[in-house]
Amino acid sequence: MTIAPLPTGLGVRTRLVGDPGGLLELLPDDRNPLSWVRGSDGLVGWGEVARLTVTGENRFAEADSWWRSFAAGLHVSDEVDQPGTGPVAFASFTFADSSPGSVLVVPRVLVGRRDGVAWITEFSHADGPSAMRAVTPVRPTGNLRFADGLLPVAGYRKAVAEAVRRMRAGELDKAALAHDLVAVSDAPLDPRFLLAGLARRYPTCWSYSVDGLVGATPELLVRRAEGTVSSRVLAGTIWPGECDDLPGQLLGSVKDRHEHALAVDSLADSLRPLCASLSVPDTPSVIALRNVSHLASDVHGTLHRQAPASLLQLAAAVHPTAAVGGTPRDAALALIAELEGMDRGRYAGPVGWMDGNGDGELGIALRCAQLDGPIARLFAGCGIVADSDPDTEVREAAAKMVAVRDALEDSGQD
């Protein structure tokens, strides 16, 4: 565990503000802007008051303990008193227990909006000055060169074929396999450019940025709000060109319905011990995005009133779901590590925010790239079951990767 030094006498104030305009347009030129935005609502932040990095299977518990202690020690003035006001930390966790780099970042300044109500939260030393910064123009990406990542397409196809062989032999039911792609620019990439391109193209997704991981996810791992919990499970995918009736084809697909059921059951089984009640839909719906359509199920529950689980306790219970891990979980994770042969980092891990009351939202870090100066490492993956076809899964991963590729190269024209 690594904790950045904290200043003494730390205070935080949240106050109402008028319409701030587009939230992403407020972000200054910062190497690591912070964002969790969907449509016109969400949170953006910049500057850094505190940072925690953790590694290992206890990373959620360690982060939860640190955040509770940090928030309890603050002098808080909250004139809005809604989820997302007062002290807030942005979070991004690694997919695997052994991967380094899970992080909590507490911004110096945060601007939020929900349902027409907007606020600003600022940290200060006693009555210190505001940390508002001038916003400089967003830098376009420029020329890009693409190269194979740690697992190129040919290796990914081979991994899928081997996973299918083992599933047909009865070793496991599902595994979510991924591969990566590297993009290199002539100059350092501006995270705000990728964020804006993703948000414009995918307004119903959560556009996020935490410590260089930038993406737009359609999948909500877990939301905690005033004693309730909810989650949106996505599994089963189709993309334009596959057929004329995408929703009908997807809902009628035995393979996709089976994959989706495994993911929903995995999440529900993990949440039930923490809930007084849990509602799970009998059949999925279809959500259509610009590049793909998914089977979706929205799960809702009420937490136990006595010692209700915090957001990070919920995340520890459900991650990784079968949507990004597999079933049975341990067998799937072992297969992923073996066949992918790469560190996913924070791809497919929980990403989002939490406040001082333990409320917040964590999505699954999908449709994303890890930015490092002029280099972007893109990821995409698919749920593999016994009926999967390796060539089809390669095409599905390519369709998913289009989201970030197009946003990186975005000319502003659709």
What are the residues whose beta carbons fall under 8 Å from the beta carbon of 369, sequence distance 6 or more? 183, 194, 213, 214, 215, 376, 377, 378, 379, 404, 408
Among the listed residues 379, 381, 281, the one whose alpha carbon sits nearest the alpha carbon of residue 332: 381
Told to judge if 219 belongs to the known catalytic residues of this protein, a careful annotator would answer yes
Catalytic residue chosen out of the listed positions 122, 219, 259, 361? 219
What distance in Å separates the CA atoms of residue 209 and residue 179, rounded to the nearest whole number?
A: 21
Place of tokens 């998913």: 400
Among the listed residues 230, 221, 231, 267, the one whose alpha carbon sits nearest the alpha carbon of residue 365: 221
Check: CB of residue 202 under 8 Å from CB of residue 196: no
What are the residues whose beta carbons fall under 8 Å from the beta carbon of 316, sequence distance 6 or more? 60, 61, 64
**15: β partners:** 120
Catalytic residue chosen out of the listed positions 174, 340, 393, 396? 174
Check: CB of residue 260 under 8 Å from CB of residue 235: yes
What are the residues whose beta carbons fall under 8 Å from the beta carbon of 169, sequence distance 6 or more? none
Write b or e for each residue in 317-342: b if 16 or more Cβ atoms lie within 10 A of its Cβ, otherwise e. Answer: bbbbbbbbbbbebebbbebbeebbeb
Cβ count within 10 A of residue 376: 26
Which residues belong to the active site?
174, 219
